[in-house]
């Protein structure tokens, strides 16, 4: 059991037959009245996000989310195939269930596959990936005083904003959580 007063970001719990994850929380102690916990929670199975307040004494069953390291193999139509690195079993996952989590993952990348009671609801790519720039416009000297950026397409097909000095064929590091350019490798 978990008490609402102990909520932290990333905590998962069961409520009303659904599984929720804390996105943001704030303990509020008004001058008048009882304290409460203001939260933004995400339904991990549907992906919807709602804001809700709880009493600090509200109790919930803790949800056990299984995170397994699996190797992303390939896409085949509307299915993405992953291989368990321990027993080499392949797991097909519907692309609509994992949204755009694979936009920065290329083949043979180790990802975390998230499941609840055997139902896969998400995939977490590595925090940082190194990808080759396949298409971008050439930058011009003298345009760097303002920290200007230009669009670039990487080998997975994702579009990223990069500094003007990055050229086609360069390998760049990308933060997959935000989709931002980090550095040239």
- Which of 43-47, 65-69, 99-103, 143-147 has the weakest average pLDDT? 143-147
Same domain flag for 148 and 166: yes
CATH number, position 70: 2.40.50.140
Q: Has residue 7 got a pLDDT over 80?
A: yes
Mean pLDDT over residues 173-178, rounded?
A: 88
Question: Domain ends where: 99, 124, 149?
Answer: 124
Residues 6+ apart with CB under 8 A from 164: 139, 140, 143, 144, 148, 149, 150
Shared-domain flag, residues 159 and 134: yes
- Mean of the per-residue pLDDT values of the chain: 87
Average of pLDDT values for 81-94? 90
pLDDT of 41 over the 90 cut: yes
Q: Are residues 72 and 41 part of one domain? A: no
120 and 72 assigned to the same domain: yes
Q: What is the pLDDT of residue 179?
A: 86
CB neighbours of 124 closer than 8 A, spacing ≥ 6? 67, 101, 111, 112, 114
Q: Are residue 91 and residue 114 in the same domain, yes or no?
A: yes
At a CB cut-off of 8 Å and minimum separation 6, what does 139 contact? 150, 163, 164, 165, 166, 167
Do 168 and 155 lie in one domain? The reply is yes
Task: Let me know whether 113 and 81 are in one domain.
Answer: yes
* pLDDT average, residue stretch 160-172: 90
Helix (H) or strand (E) holding 149: strand 149-154
Of the residues 40, 62, 84, the one at which a domain ends? 62
Tell me, rounded to whole angstroms, the distance of Cα 166 from its chain centroid. 26
Considering the domain architecture, whether residues 71 and 37 belong to the same structural domain is answered as: no
Do 47 and 72 belong to one domain?
no
Percent of the chain with pLDDT over 70: 95
Span 115-160, pLDDT tens digits: 888 888 788 889 999 999 999 888 766 555 667 888 999 998 889 9
pTM over 0.85: no
Q: Per-residue pLDDT for 76 more than 70?
A: yes
- Give the CATH number for residue 44: 2.30.30.30
- Whether the pLDDT of residue 55 is over 90: the answer is yes
pLDDT of residue 166: 87
Count how many residues are written for the chain.
185
Confidence label for 185 from pLDDT (cuts 50, 70 and 90): confident
Q: How many domains, the chain?
A: 3
Residues 102 and 86 in one domain: yes
Last residue in a domain, options 107, 124, 141:
124
Domain range for residue 148? 129-184
Q: Which pLDDT belongs to residue 172?
A: 93
């Amino acid at each position: 059991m978990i008490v609402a007063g102990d909520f932290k970001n990333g905590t998962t719990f069961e409520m009303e037959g659904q599984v929720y994850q804390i996105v943001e929380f704030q303990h509020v102690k008004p001058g008048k009245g009882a304290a409460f916990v203001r939260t933004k929670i995400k339904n991990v199975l549907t992906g919807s996000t709602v804001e809700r307040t709880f009493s600090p004494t509200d109790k919930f069953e803790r949800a056990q989310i299984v995170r397994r390291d699996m190797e992303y193999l390939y896409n085949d139509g509307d299915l993405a195939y992953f291989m368990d690195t321990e027993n080499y079993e392949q797991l097909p996952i519907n692309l609509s269930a994992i949204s755009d989590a694979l936009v920065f993952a290329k083949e043979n990348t180790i990802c975390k596959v998230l499941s609840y009671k055997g139902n896969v609801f998400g995939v977490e790519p590595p925090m940082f990936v190194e990808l080759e720039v396949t298409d971008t416009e050439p930058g011009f000297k003298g345009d760097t005083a303002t920290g200007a950026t230009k669009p670039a397409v990487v080998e997975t097909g994702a579009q990223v904003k990069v500094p003007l000095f990055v050229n086609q064929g360069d390998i760049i590091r990308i933060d997959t959580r935000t989709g931002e350019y980090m550095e040239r490798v």
